[in-house]
Amino acid sequence: MGKKLIQVERLSKKFKDQVALKDISFSVHAGEIFGFLGPSGSGKTTTIKILTGQLAQSSGRAFVLNNAVEQIDESIYEQIGIVTDNSGLYDRLTVYNNLVAFAKLLNVDKKRIDFLLKRVGLFEHKNKMAKNLSKGMKQRLILSRAMLHQPKVLFLDEPTSGLDPVTTEAIHALLLELKENGTAIFLTTHNMEEATKLCDSVALLNDGLIVEHDTPKALTLKYNQDKRYQVLLKNEKEVNVAHSAESIQQINHWLLNDELLTIHSCEPNLEQVFLEVTGRELV
Ligand SMILES: Nc1ncnc2c1ncn2[C@@H]1O[C@H](COP(=O)(O)OP(=O)(O)OP(=O)(O)O)[C@@H](O)[C@H]1O
Ligand SMILES: [Mg+2]
C-alpha cells in the first residue's frame, strides 16, 4: 500500500447540541479510492469540509498530506482537489477560461485543459460562459478543474450525481487513471454500484458513526449469511436454491447431465449490507 495521505483519528463534530460526527477514524493511502457512504444527513459533507479546512472539528485529529487540518498550509492546496456543491466557478468566464485561470494559479500546462475537456465531453462547449451551462455540464467542469493539477489527494462529494451513464463512465475512467498515478481519492456517493466498482475500501456512515469499514467484497461476503444460488436450467426454468448438502447434490446432478445454463451465488450488494447493518435505506 502507498503512503497514508489522509489520516483521521477519533474525529467528532457538534453543531450546537447536535452531534454530526461521532468519533470517526480511518485512513486513505496513495493510490486508494475510499468510499464514504451514508444516507442524507449522515455527515459526509461535514467530514469533507473538516478535512479541507472549511470547518473546524469539535474534537479528534485529522491530517491531510501530514498537515493537521486545522492549520492547513496554503501550499498544500496545490496538491489537493475538491469537488463539492459550492463550486466556486467564475460565472462570467467561459468553460475554457475558467480552467485557464486555475491552470495559471496551479502552474499547469494548458495542454492538459484540452485533454480534460475532451475526456469529460466539454470540448465543444469550451467557449460557453459558465453561468449558461447545464447542471451536468457544470459538474463536469468542476471535476475537470479539480483534476487539472493531478492532485495527490482528491475529495469528491457525490461527483457523478445527476450525470448520464456515458459521462459517468468517462469520469470513472479518469478517476481510475488518477488512482493508478497514486492519487488518494475520498469519494462520497449514494450510488452503490459506483462504490462497488471504484472503491478499494468503503466506510458505511450512519448518524455520524462509522458502522462498517472494509473492502466492498469483504463486506458483501460478511453479510452473506443466507447463502443461496440462482440457477438457470436449459429447459428455461429458473431456480433459487439455499446452500445445503442436498442442493449441492442437485446442482451436481444438473451439471453432470448438462442441464445447467448459468449459476450465480446471491451475495448481497452494498445497499443490502447497509440496510442490514442500520435498518435504513441508503437514500
Ligand atoms: N453549518 C451547520 N450548522 C448546523 N448543522 C449542520 C451544519 N452543517 C451540517 N449540519 C448538520 O449535520 C448533519 C450532517 O450533514 P451533512 O451535510 O454532513 O450530511 P451529508 O451526509 O453530506 O448528507 P447529504 O447526503 O444530504 O449531502 C445534518 O444533520 C446537518 O443538518
Ligand atoms: Mg452532503
44 lines ligand 1 (CB under 6 A): yes
Q: How far is CA 151 from CA 1, 30, 98, 186, in A?
A: 18, 11, 18, 12
* CA 42 / ligand 1 centre spacing (Å): 7
* CA 106 / ligand 1 centre spacing (Å): 31
* pLDDT above 90: residue 78: no
17 lines ligand 1 (CB under 6 A): no
**If you write DSSP's letter for every residue of 3-49 in order, what string do you get?**
-EEEEEEEEEEEETTEEEEEEEEEEEETT-EEEEE--TTSSHHHHHH
206 lines ligand 1 (CB under 6 A): no
Closest-lying ligand to the alpha carbon of 14? Answer: 1
* CA 108 / ligand 1 centre spacing (Å): 34
Selected from 3.40.50.720, 3.40.50.300, 1.10.1200.10, 3.40.220.10, the CATH number assigned to the domain covering 4-221 reads 3.40.50.300
Atom of ligand 1 nearest to the CA of 48: 18
40 lines ligand 1 (CB under 6 A): yes
Identify the pLDDT of residue 52.
92
Read off the pLDDT of residues 140-171 as tens digits, 9 standing for 90 and up: 999 899 999 999 999 999 988 888 898 899 88
| Rounded distance between C-alpha atoms, residue 193 and residue 175, angstroms | 15
| Beta carbons within 8 Å of 17's beta carbon, 6+ residues apart | none
Grid cell at residue 225: 449469511
Grid cell at residue 164: 448520464
Identify the pLDDT of residue 103.
92
| Rounded distance between C-alpha atoms, residue 175 and residue 183, angstroms | 9
- Nearest CA to 35 out of 178, 198, 270 is that of 198
* CA 149 / ligand 1 centre spacing (Å): 29
Pocket test for ligand 1, best of 24, 44, 84 (most atoms within 8 A of CB): 44
Q: How far is CA 238 from CA 227, 232, 268, in A?
A: 17, 5, 19
* Domain ranges for the chain: 4-221, 225-266
208 lines ligand 1 (CB under 6 A): no
Q: How far is CA 120 from CA 98, 105, 137, 147, 232, in A?
A: 15, 22, 9, 11, 40
Query: What confidence tier does 283 reach under pLDDT thresholds 50, 70, 90?
Result: low
The answer to whether the CB of 60 falls within 8 A of the CB of 9 is yes
Nearest CA to ligand 1 atom 4: 15
| Beta carbons within 8 Å of 214's beta carbon, 6+ residues apart | 201, 202, 222
Instruction: Pick the range with the lowest mean pLDDT from 17-26, 72-81, 108-117, 233-242.
Output: 72-81
* pLDDT above 70: residue 86: no
For cell 485529522, name the residue. 62
Identify the pLDDT of residue 203.
96
Grid cell at residue 43: 455527515
| Beta carbons within 8 Å of 23's beta carbon, 6+ residues apart | 10, 11, 12, 60, 209
Give just the sign of the alpha carbon dihedral 174, 283, 227, 264. Answer: negative
One-letter amino acid for residue 224 of the chain: N
Residues with CB under 5 A from ligand 2 (ion): 44-45
42 lines ligand 1 (CB under 6 A): yes
The answer to whether the CB of 141 falls within 8 A of the CB of 122 is yes
Extended strands (E) in the chain: 4-15, 18-29, 33-37, 59-64, 67-68, 80-83, 153-157, 184-189, 201-206, 209-214, 228-233, 238-242, 260-265
Cα dihedral 105/107/109/112 (nearest 10): -60
* CA 86 / ligand 1 centre spacing (Å): 14
Query: What confidence tier does 77 reach under pLDDT thresholds 50, 70, 90?
Result: confident
Grid cell at residue 206: 450512519
